């Protein structure tokens, strides 16, 4: 009876109102027994050091051991790691020196984990966006980060550049920069087109605020450089645009979905093809993502949707506008599931979502069977509610 009581909690349901909620038993997910038929990477978060003598809005204090341990967690479920991407708070607390150290540690850890895959974000975030920048400065910034990652033996994900978005005067500027960087790549890279819903500074990327026109520019770059491009990840949260672009990709170039709203159907695909995955939500739902991909590999599409379907409402909630604050929900999930013993983020970003949002996230995670230890999750949720002045009696 005591254990059942530990699984019941009063949660905010609307401003000023509480309701009793009882957690169900978690779902058991099996480790992968076969290779997936989709390439799948999770963009991994960074664990903060809550005891560091650093001002959270100014300095990135990182718990390196817990951060790398979470990469091992993702690898253990058969997922690759997309390192130092926006999920790691790149550009929202994680600067380039810390990103490079993160990449170094992750690449080193992957060498000791059989089958581990890691690809790392190269961008231009060590220079400030400025309309007066010259394109040569943007190219030099990309070259600096790409060279540093390749020196570590890492694979490159070519991130969208705030600096390029700020100074590009025409679509041709994007072609010039990307042609130059891709021509120098040692091995094929993944290009990331991050939409303005994730980062408002990237509005008008590829030279147009109309995604269809921007897509034409991007596709021209891909066609000219197909031998140097493994794939493209687009994060526009619009399945129709992703499918339209997927059907126009040059041979040999993969579509990696970045659509955290519609990933289940995009990964399954249609008669014309499918998307592989490079997703921030896979950080939070790794066991379910792995089990669903195993079911898909076995040809059991019904089981694939039975597992992954309940995670879609959770993901849509975590990534609700303002979408750039989704990292708060990802780290909240890691804390609820015992992967870290605190709910502290670099940049103080744990404060970016309200308690009603987090309470609903708690319910949706439970509905998806993703709270592995309901007693622990309830205890931690109670402690967070108490900090917010919400009692459980």
**Residue 142 within any structural domain of the chain:** yes
Residue 391 confidence (pLDDT) above 80: no
**Residue 141 within any structural domain of the chain:** yes
**Average pLDDT of the residues of the chain:** 96
Query: Cα 185–218–175 angle (5° rounding)?
Result: 60
pLDDT-derived band at 6, boundaries 50, 70, 90: confident
pLDDT, tens digit (0-9, with 9 covering 90-100), for 50-96? 999 888 888 889 999 999 999 999 999 999 999 999 999 999 999 99
**Residue 378 within any structural domain of the chain:** no
- Residue range of the domain that includes 133: 31-369
Q: Hey, what are 344's tokens? A: 């502290």
**Residue 135 within any structural domain of the chain:** yes
Number of domains in the chain: 1
pLDDT-derived band at 112, boundaries 50, 70, 90: very high
pLDDT, tens digit (0-9, with 9 covering 90-100), for 342-373? 999 999 999 999 999 999 999 999 999 999 99
| Closest to 366 measured CA to CA, from 291, 289, 288 | 288
pLDDT, tens digit (0-9, with 9 covering 90-100), for 213-234? 999 999 999 999 999 999 999 9
**Residue 331 within any structural domain of the chain:** yes
Residue 5 confidence (pLDDT) above 80: no
Entry pTM: 0.95
Neighbours of 64 (CB within 10 A): 14
**Residue 51 within any structural domain of the chain:** yes
**Residue 21 within any structural domain of the chain:** no
Residue 279 confidence (pLDDT) above 70: yes
**Residue 381 within any structural domain of the chain:** no
- The CATH number that applies at residue 129 is 3.20.20.70
């Amino acid at each position: 009876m005591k254990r059942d009581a530990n699984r019941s909690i009063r949660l905010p349901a609307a401003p000023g109102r509480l309701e009793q909620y009882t957690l169900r038993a978690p779902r058991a997910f099996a480790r992968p027994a076969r290779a997936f038929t989709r390439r799948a990477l999770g963009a991994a978060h960074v664990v903060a050091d809550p005891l560091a003598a650093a001002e959270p809005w100014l300095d990135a204090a990182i718990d390196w051991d817990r951060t790398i341990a979470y990469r091992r967690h993702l690898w253990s479920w058969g997922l690759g790691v997309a390192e130092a991407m926006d999920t790691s708070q790149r550009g929202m607390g994680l600067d380039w020196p810390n990103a490079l150290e993160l990449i170094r540690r992750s690449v080193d850890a992957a060498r000791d984990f059989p089958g581990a895959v890691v690809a790392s974000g190269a961008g231009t975030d060590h220079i400030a966006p400025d309309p007066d920048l010259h394109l040569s400065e943007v190219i030099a910034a990309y070259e600096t980060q790409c060279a540093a990652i390749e020196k570590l033996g890492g694979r490159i994900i070519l991130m969208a550049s705030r600096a390029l978005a700020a100074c590009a005067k025409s679509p041709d500027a994007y072609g010039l920069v990307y042609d130059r960087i891709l021509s120098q790549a040692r091995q094929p890279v993944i290009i990331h087109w991050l939409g303005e819903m994730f980062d408002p500074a990237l509005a008008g990327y590829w030279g147009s605020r109309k995604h269809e026109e921007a897509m034409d520019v991007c596709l021209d770059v891909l066609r000219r450089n197909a031998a140097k491009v493994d794939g493209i990840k687009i994060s526009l949260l619009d399945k129709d645009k992703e499918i339209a672009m997927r059907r126009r990709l040059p041979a040999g170039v993969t579509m990696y979905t970045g659509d955290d709203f519609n990933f289940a159907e995009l990964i399954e695909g249609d008669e014309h093809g499918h998307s592989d995955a490079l997703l921030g939500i896979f950080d939070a739902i790794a066991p379910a993502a792995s089990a669903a991909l195993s079911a898909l590999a076995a040809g059991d599409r019904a089981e694939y949707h039975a597992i992954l379907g309940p995670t879609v409402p959770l993901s849509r909630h975590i990534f609700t506008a303002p979408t750039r604050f989704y990292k708060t929900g990802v780290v909240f999930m890691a804390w609820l599931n015992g992967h870290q013993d605190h709910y502290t983020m670099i940049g103080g970003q744990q404060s970016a979502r309200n308690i009603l949002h987090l309470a609903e996230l708690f319910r949706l995670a439970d509905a998806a069977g993703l709270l592995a230890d309901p007693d622990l999750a309830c205890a931690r949720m109670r402690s967070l509610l108490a900090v917010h002045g919400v009692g459980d009696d």
